[in-house]
Amino acid sequence: MKKVFFLFLLLGSCLQSVQAQSRSEGLSILWGNPQQESKRSTLADVIGHDESGFYALRLKVGAFYGINSKFSLEHYDNSMNKTRTVEVDLETDNKKRSLEQIVHYNNRLFIFTSLADQKSKQKKLFLQPISKTSLQPVGEPQQISSIDYTGYSKGNSGNFGFSVSSDSTKFLVFYNLPYDQGENERFGFHVLDWEMKQLWEKQIELPYQEELFEVDRYKVDNAGNIHLLGRLFNEKRKLKRKGEPNYKYQVLSYRDNGSSLTDYAVEIPGKFLNDMQIAILPNQDIICAGFFSPARTNSISGSYFLTIDAKTKQVKKQSFKDFDADFLTENMREGKAAATKEKIEKGKSVELYEFDLDDLVLREDGGAMLVGEQYFIRVMTTYSPNGGISSTKTQYHYNNIIVVNINPQGEIEWAHQIPKRQRTVNDGGFYSSYTMAVVQDKLYFIFNDHPKNLIAKQGQVYNMRLTGNDAIVVMVEMDSQGNQTRRPLFKASDASVIIRPKVCEQLTNQEVVIFGQRRRLQRFAKISLQSDSQSSSLK
């Protein structure tokens, strides 16, 4: 009991210290007014910001299995308070379009909507600018793309995706075309300029059968070229054997307005690359970075960083680093850490499981940072005495964060884990995961946590709390050397809401907007961060 009492005294002291010293510590939090909203309403996306504040998209889920869900576009001022809200009108000629995306692009708002016409078998994509004053679309919807799905069902009518170049001068509309099983998969591109005017378009057929290739990511570079990252399987995806690698990564680059295709096989003998992010350099060289393992597809034993020459297709630079004993045991209890190190000394393999690579952050000096998170789902089914299913629960696990630092020479300098445990049931991980902010050469991670983790011994990681005095929000600051500082930001009970890290967003170089909700109460806050670092900045 004394330990518990001391813990809350310490937590209260920490929180008061943050509030009282926020300016001197380079941190301040500005809360907007709490709003009463429908329990079926939540934030869908923070779209963008300008000098007047920021724009957000709200979703109100339909009462019957999500049918008739509605979207609203909202504006919030720099005090984090709502100034206006408008329901997104998706009706055109008595036909309801689907909302594809609302974007803030070069200081303007645009809405993309689609309509699948069963008579003509055409799925059309429309674009409209949105007035920032009224939050209403301006003019008539302009058709910019169409998918012909003649001979196919509405469920196989194709899907649209969107991407923006790193300098915000090119906008990509990407869509997959209907296909039959066994055929080569087909896609289409529209590349738009900074004013949303089309530069070029093209439909392409991948040089692989659908069962053998899976597109993971697509990018448009600053020159308007398209790059697809995908996995090429040795056999059909459905036939892959669990735990054994049966694919390799492939990058397909479409240049010269889509007229030229260059494919890059990304593989290193003796290493299985099981997760990857890519970036395109100004000279068109391709950066590939991620995690590798000796064999198993669902585990990782180290990280890698490659630079591929765009012309020769050869690997110009490569760096591999096995996760060492210190990294693998830095969040273990003393006994388990000793046993793990002994296992490593005997030459046995020690790997990490279920980690997803979330981000590749480039630095201005040519270096980079890799960020990943442990994420997995477990389905728990209980049976009645007569053998029937009595209940099924789905557990969502969002645990430790991994950060890997690569220097300007392309060498992996260090890797560290940020201890975190978030386990929930039947909620899709609604309040789990983290939001990340980049301020010069520092990374900031914000997430829901347990107060005991502020003073926990090595190897002790407590599951986050979402209710009562144990529910807190923390921020972990990581500098360029991998040193991390964990501190509380606020209690959920003091804010009256629980934050949803997945929809929080870094607005500017030093500002992060966070969103929280609890029952019908919802509100935003702005966290202002300042770094005293004089080192190179991250992009």
Q: Is this structure's pTM higher than 0.85?
A: yes
DSSP 154: G
Q: Is residue 487 assigned to a domain? A: no
Q: Is residue 424 assigned to a domain? A: no
Helix residue spans in 180-230 (DSSP H): none
Contact 277, 370 (CB under 8 A): yes
Q: Is the per-residue pLDDT at 531 higher than 80? A: no
436-491, pLDDT tens digit by residue?
A: 999 988 999 999 999 999 987 777 899 999 988 789 999 999 999 999 999 999 99
State residue 538's pLDDT score: 55
Q: Is residue 386 assigned to a domain? A: no
Arithmetic mean of pLDDT, 207-231: 92
535 or 430, which is more confident = 430
Q: Is the per-residue pLDDT at 22 higher than 90? A: no
Arithmetic mean of pLDDT, 331-357: 81
Q: Is residue 59 assigned to a domain? A: yes
Task: List all residues 6 or more positions away from 155 whose beta carbon is below 8 Å from its beta carbon.
Answer: none
99-128, pLDDT tens digit by residue?
A: 999 999 999 999 999 999 888 999 999 999
Q: How many domains does the chain have?
A: 1
List b or e across 278-316, with b for residues whose CB sees 16 or more CB atoms inside 10 angstroms. Answer: bbbeeebebbbbbbbbeebbebbbbbbbbbbebeeeebe
Q: Is residue 69 assigned to a domain? A: yes
State residue 4's pLDDT score: 36
Q: Is the per-residue pLDDT at 327 higher than 90? A: no
Contact 124, 141 (CB under 8 A): no
| 119: containing domain | 42-157
State residue 245's pLDDT score: 66
Q: Is the per-residue pLDDT at 146 higher than 90? A: yes
534 or 236, which is more confident = 236
- List the Cα angle 322/326/331 in 5-degree steps: 115
Q: Is the per-residue pLDDT at 293 higher than 90? A: no
SS3 340: helix
Q: Is residue 202 assigned to a domain? A: no
Secondary structure string (H, E, C) spanning 147-168: EECCCCCHHHCCEEEEEECCCC
Contact 146, 123 (CB under 8 A): yes
DSSP 196: S
Q: How far is residue 491's CA from residue 468's CA, in Å, rounded to a whole number?
A: 9
Contact 93, 78 (CB under 8 A): no
For the chain, give me the number of helices (H) and strands (E)? 4, 39
Is the four-CA dihedral 447, 453, 458, 459 of positive or negative sign? negative
Q: Is residue 415 assigned to a domain? A: no
Contact 113, 139 (CB under 8 A): no
As given in the structure block, the two tokens for residue 197 are 């005017």
Q: How far is residue 399's CA from residue 374's CA, in Å, rounded to a whole number?
A: 5
Q: Is the per-residue pLDDT at 63 higher than 90? A: no
Q: Distances in Å between the alpha carbon of 137 and those of 82, 361, 394?
A: 20, 34, 40
Q: Is residue 387 assigned to a domain? A: no
Contact 215, 270 (CB under 8 A): no
Q: How far is CA 456 from the centre of its chain?
A: 28
Arithmetic mean of pLDDT, 304-318: 95
User: Could you tell me the pLDDT band of residue 389, with boundaries at 50, 70 and 90?
Assistant: low
State residue 18's pLDDT score: 37
Contact 239, 252 (CB under 8 A): no
State residue 269's pLDDT score: 84
Pair type for strands 286-293 and 299-300: unpaired
Q: Is the per-residue pLDDT at 237 higher than 80? A: no
Could you count the other beta carbons within 10 Å of the beta carbon of residue 323? 21
Judged by average pLDDT, the poorest of 156-165, 237-246, 306-315 is 237-246
Q: How far is residue 320's CA from residue 331's CA, in Å, rounded to a whole number?
A: 23
